[in-house]
Copies of this chain bind each other. A is one copy, B any other.
Amino acid sequence: MALRACLRTKPGLTGLLSQLSSCSSHGAARMSPALVAQRRSSSTSQKIKVDFDQSTGVAVMRMQSPPVNSLSLEFLTDVCIALEKLEMDKSCRGLIVTSSQPKVFSAGLDILDMYGKSPEHCVEFWKAVQEMWLKFYGSNMITIAAVNGSSPAGGCLLSMTCDYRIMADNPRYSIGLNETQLGIVAPFWFKDTMINTVGHRTTEMALQLGLLYSPAEALKIGLVDQLVPEDQVLTTATETMTKWLAIPDHARQLTKSMMRKPTIDKLTSNREADVNNFVKFITKDSIQKSLGMYLEMLKRRKA
């Protein structure tokens, strides 16, 4: 199933998201656990490509999980392992996160990991989502999101964990926490991250309406920091990184931690309750039914 075909069916931004999510579930090849374990020993998994330049101290993490970098349990596990390796390498000071997939940064959490799954699976999945957020939001590295495509829901969250966001100035792309549009609710730490980024009022309206913003709108409300032509996203990220690298690491890290610690502590001390809330919510008949209807609708559209 081609992403392009997928995109053609409904041009609106929300439609884009729906289809991206759908693509993700059906297009992603599932791997055996043995294969996963094997790839983890190298710095590049099939779904994540990490290039670390020792001379600059900067790593580039490319998400390459076709078609739309959905954040599945497996993908999240790969991302966390890759991030942990970089974090432990003292010579790695900066990380640029970007996508190798066309038109999309990340379509967000993989719905197939929430639909028709056992509570045990949902627990594992949600722990991985928490872990991804904790690792990125609490990273000691300078993190820059090179948002070279649409970035709804979990994709937006991932970009918001970074220190700086550069987005491709393409009006067909969008970014935002649009969970309510799918009938689900962004958890408190998604909300906290967004409040820290764009403030209380903008977050309240964005989350209630599940708003997806065009790049221009996202820049205006401060959801991204800079717009550049699509082919300059990565080079601009690299140039911006140079500016951040000029700051002594220890002072920058202590400052970053001081800013983010209260928000991180809130989840750390409520992880189990948050997992329970998620699983209880997502396994509800009514929620499963609407996720099912949503997936059915996408299938019909693609037919």
How many chain copies does the complex carry? 3
Cα distance A181–B245 in the bound complex, in angstroms: 11
> A204 contacts which chain B residues (CB < 8 A)?
163, 196, 256, 259-260
Tell me how far the C-beta of A208 lies from the nearest C-beta in chain B, rounded to whole angstroms.
5
Instruction: Check if A247 sits within 8 Å of B209, measured CB to CB.
Output: yes
Answer whether residue A252 sits at the interface, using C-beta atoms and an 8 A cutoff: yes
Answer whether residue A258 sits at the interface, using C-beta atoms and an 8 A cutoff: yes
Cα distance A252–B206 in the bound complex, in angstroms: 11
Which one of B191, B225, B259, B290 contacts A248 once the chains associate, using CB atoms below 8 Å?
B290
Answer whether residue A30 sits at the interface, using C-beta atoms and an 8 A cutoff: no
Contact (A247, B197) CB under 8 Å given A208-B163, A255-B207, A258-B185 = no
Which one of B201, B209, B260 contacts A244 once the chains associate, using CB atoms below 8 Å?
B209
Name the interface residues of A169-216: CB closer than 8 Å to any CB of B: 179-186, 188, 191, 195-201, 203-205, 207-210
> A11 contacts which chain B residues (CB < 8 A)?
none
Cα distance A195–B199 in the bound complex, in angstroms: 10
> A251 contacts which chain B residues (CB < 8 A)?
179-180, 182-185, 210
> A191 contacts which chain B residues (CB < 8 A)?
255, 258-259
Instruction: Check if B197 sits within 8 Å of A201, measured CB to CB.
Output: yes
Answer whether residue A243 sits at the interface, using C-beta atoms and an 8 A cutoff: yes
Cα distance A184–B13 in the bound complex, in angstroms: 44
Cα distance A183–B201 in the bound complex, in angstroms: 29
Answer whether residue A75 sits at the interface, using C-beta atoms and an 8 A cutoff: no
Tell me how far the C-beta of A141 lies from the nearest C-beta in chain B, rounded to whole angstroms.
12
Instruction: Check if B209 sits within 8 Å of A259, measured CB to CB.
Output: no
| Among A185, A196, A197: residue with most chain B CB under 10 A | A185
Instruction: Check if B254 sits within 8 Å of A185, measured CB to CB.
Output: yes
Answer whether residue A229 sits at the interface, using C-beta atoms and an 8 A cutoff: no
Beta-carbon contacts of A151-182 to B below 8 Å, as 1s and 0s? 00000000000011000000000000001111
Instruction: Check if B201 sits within 8 Å of A248, measured CB to CB.
Output: no
Query: Which single residue of chain B is at the shortest CB-CB distance from A196?
Result: B200
Query: Which single residue of chain B is at the shortest CB-CB distance from A261?
Result: B188
> A290 contacts which chain B residues (CB < 8 A)?
248
> A186 contacts which chain B residues (CB < 8 A)?
255
Beta-carbon contacts of A255-270 to B below 8 Å, as 1s and 0s? 1101110000000000
22 contacts between A and B (CB under 8 A): A163-B208, A180-B247, A180-B251, A180-B252, A183-B251, A184-B251, A185-B255, A186-B255, A191-B255, A196-B201, A196-B204, A203-B259, A205-B225, A207-B258, A208-B244, A208-B252, A208-B256, A209-B243, A209-B244, A209-B252, A210-B247, A250-B286
Given contacts A164-B205, A180-B247, 14 further A-B contacts (CB under 8 A): A163-B205, A163-B208, A180-B255, A181-B247, A191-B259, A197-B200, A197-B201, A204-B259, A204-B260, A207-B255, A207-B258, A208-B256, A209-B243, A209-B247
